């Protein structure tokens, strides 16, 4: 043994305490204080650094994020209360969207009989209140965006790391998760309801015709031309609520130039890792008291992966990504197939970088 000897003691979750003996000539020995379950065997300083880094990264997500019972601490309350005002309306928005039936029949009748004024009035009368609902959904997306940016500000601020923030501020982390959960549910419902775009397109065409003919339009006061343009762009998106969050996150990064982009992307990747670890670790999963928490975790994991993929310069699927995509996909595929097909489709069709050349063939084949 070299005289210039130093030791580093590392305690890893799920492993017994190990002592790494490093000599000044960079000859390295590994001596377990007791038998180590990690099976670490390496030689040289480079490998030691890799093991240390790997274990630190691996354990960063090893804590239980209490999605069921987290309550705000005093320091969280201001942001928590602001976001809570928005989130308390989320379930009502989803219920309204789920019950949205559209005015397809009335619109078809009006188009087929263009000279029948009664049918034109009937179709317009059916569409106007529906457009009022669509306006409410759009305005909620703007409120949700403001809430998300408030949470990002709190969860990425210095001096704490993303892991420390998520562990210390669990009530805010829970709200962030609830926003993602709502977003995926909203977009799933929107994607399966073509009546939304059909109704809004008919509304805009009819409104334009009324203006040309100088006919007063009952619904114009509710949705003016400028708002209609913005709503049109919103509903033209396959996943409008996700696009809102993605744009809001990108804008947050660009407006906070003093904050490294990694603070934001690491917050997202850590949240994905926390969800994956809780789902694949029986010790954590057994602490869920509500079966719905499993589907909540799965949805949040997928939502945060998609958001990361849109915001991070190289996305979630590259080798340099801080998200264990293979592990996340495996967790999804370990669930009953019918319960996760929508989430797998979300990864297939609403991510940005899946089909990049930098995505491994193995990940692509896992999602085929």
pLDDT tens per residue across span 130-186: 999 999 999 999 999 999 999 999 998 878 888 888 888 999 999 999 999 999 999
Structure tokens given for 257: 């130039």
Helix (H, G, I), strand (E, B) or coil at 203: helix
- Calculate the CA dihedral of residues 154, 291, 69, 79 and round it to 10 degrees: 30
CB neighbourhood size of 197 (10 A): 15
The CA distance from 324 to 62, in Å, is: 14
Query: Is residue 27 domain-resident?
Result: no
Residue 29 is predicted with a pLDDT of 38
Please list the alpha-helical segments (H only) found in 213-313: 225-236, 240-255, 261-280, 282-285, 292-311
**CA separation (Å) from 263 to 78, 99, 164, 197, 251?**
21, 39, 12, 37, 14
Domain span including residue 317: 76-367
Query: Is residue 56 domain-resident?
Result: no
Query: Is residue 335 domain-resident?
Result: yes
Asked if residue 181 lies in contact with residue 87, where contact means CB atoms within 8 angstroms, the answer is no
Peptide bond into 159 cis (omega under 30): yes
The CA distance from 300 to 182, in Å, is: 9
5 confidence band (pLDDT: 50, 70, 90): very low
The CA distance from 157 to 169, in Å, is: 12
Helix (H, G, I), strand (E, B) or coil at 22: strand
Counted domains in the chain: 1
Structure tokens given for 162: 């993303």
Query: Is residue 283 domain-resident?
Result: yes
Structure tokens given for 173: 């982390």
- Distance of alpha carbon 222 from the chain centroid: 31
Instruction: Give the chain's mean pLDDT.
Output: 81
Side-chain half-sphere exposure of 333, counting CA atoms within 13 A = 12
Query: Is residue 21 domain-resident?
Result: no
pTM comes to 0.79
The CA distance from 211 to 205, in Å, is: 10
Residues 6+ apart with CB under 8 A from 208: none
Query: Is residue 285 domain-resident?
Result: yes
For residue 194, count CB atoms less than 10 angstroms from its CB and return exposed for 0-12, middle for 13-18, buried for 19 or more.
exposed
Q: Beginning with the edge strand found earlier in the chain, give each strand of the sheet holding 5-10 in spatial order.
A: 5-10, 18-23, 28-32
187 confidence band (pLDDT: 50, 70, 90): very high
pLDDT tens per residue across span 83-127: 999 999 999 999 999 999 999 999 999 999 999 999 999 999 999
Q: Residue 23 pLDDT > 80, yes or no?
A: no
Residue 30 is predicted with a pLDDT of 37
Query: Is residue 13 domain-resident?
Result: no
The CA distance from 142 to 148, in Å, is: 10
Query: Is residue 262 domain-resident?
Result: yes
């Amino acid at each position: 043994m070299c005289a210039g000897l130093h030791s580093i003691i590392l305690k890893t979750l799920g492993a017994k305490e190990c002592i790494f003996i490093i000599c000044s000539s960079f000859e390295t020995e590994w001596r377990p204080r007791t038998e180590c379950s990690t099976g670490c065997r390496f030689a040289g300083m480079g490998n030691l650094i890799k093991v240390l880094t790997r274990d630190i990264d691996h354990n960063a997500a090893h804590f239980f994020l209490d999605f069921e019972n987290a309550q705000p601490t005093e320091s969280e309350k201001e942001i928590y209360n602001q976001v809570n005002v928005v989130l308390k309306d989320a379930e009502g928005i989803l219920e309204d969207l789920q019950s949205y039936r559209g005015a397809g029949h009335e619109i078809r009748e009006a188009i087929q009989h263009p000279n029948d004024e009664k049918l034109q009035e009937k179709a317009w009368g059916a569409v106007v209140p529906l457009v009022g609902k669509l306006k409410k959904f759009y305005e909620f997306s703007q409120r949700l965006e403001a809430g998300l940016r408030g949470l990002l500000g709190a969860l990425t601020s210095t001096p704490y790391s993303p892991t420390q923030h998520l562990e210390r501020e669990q009530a805010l982390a829970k709200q962030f998760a609830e926003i993602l959960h709502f977003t995926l549910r909203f977009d799933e419902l929107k994607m399966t309801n073509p009546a939304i775009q059909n109704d809004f397109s008919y509304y805009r065409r009819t409104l334009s015709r009324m203006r040309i003919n100088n006919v007063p339009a009952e619904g114009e006061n509710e949705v003016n031309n400028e708002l209609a343009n913005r709503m049109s762009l919103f509903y033209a998106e396959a996943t409008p609520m996700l696009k809102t969050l993605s744009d809001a996150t990108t804008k947050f990064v660009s407006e906070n130039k003093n904050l490294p982009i990694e603070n934001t992307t690491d917050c997202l990747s850590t949240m994905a890792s926390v969800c994956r670890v809780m789902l694949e670790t029986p010790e954590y999963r057994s602490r869920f008291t509500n079966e719905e928490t499993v589907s909540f975790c799965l949805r949040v994991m997928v939502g945060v992966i998609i958001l990361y993929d849109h915001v991070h310069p190289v996305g979630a699927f590259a080798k340099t990504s801080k998200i264990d995509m293979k592990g996340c996909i495996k967790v999804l595929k370990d669930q009953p197939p019918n319960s996760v097909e929508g989430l797998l489709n979300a990864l297939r069709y609403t991510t940005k970088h899946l089909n990049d050349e930098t995505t491994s063939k193995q990940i692509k084949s896992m999602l085929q």
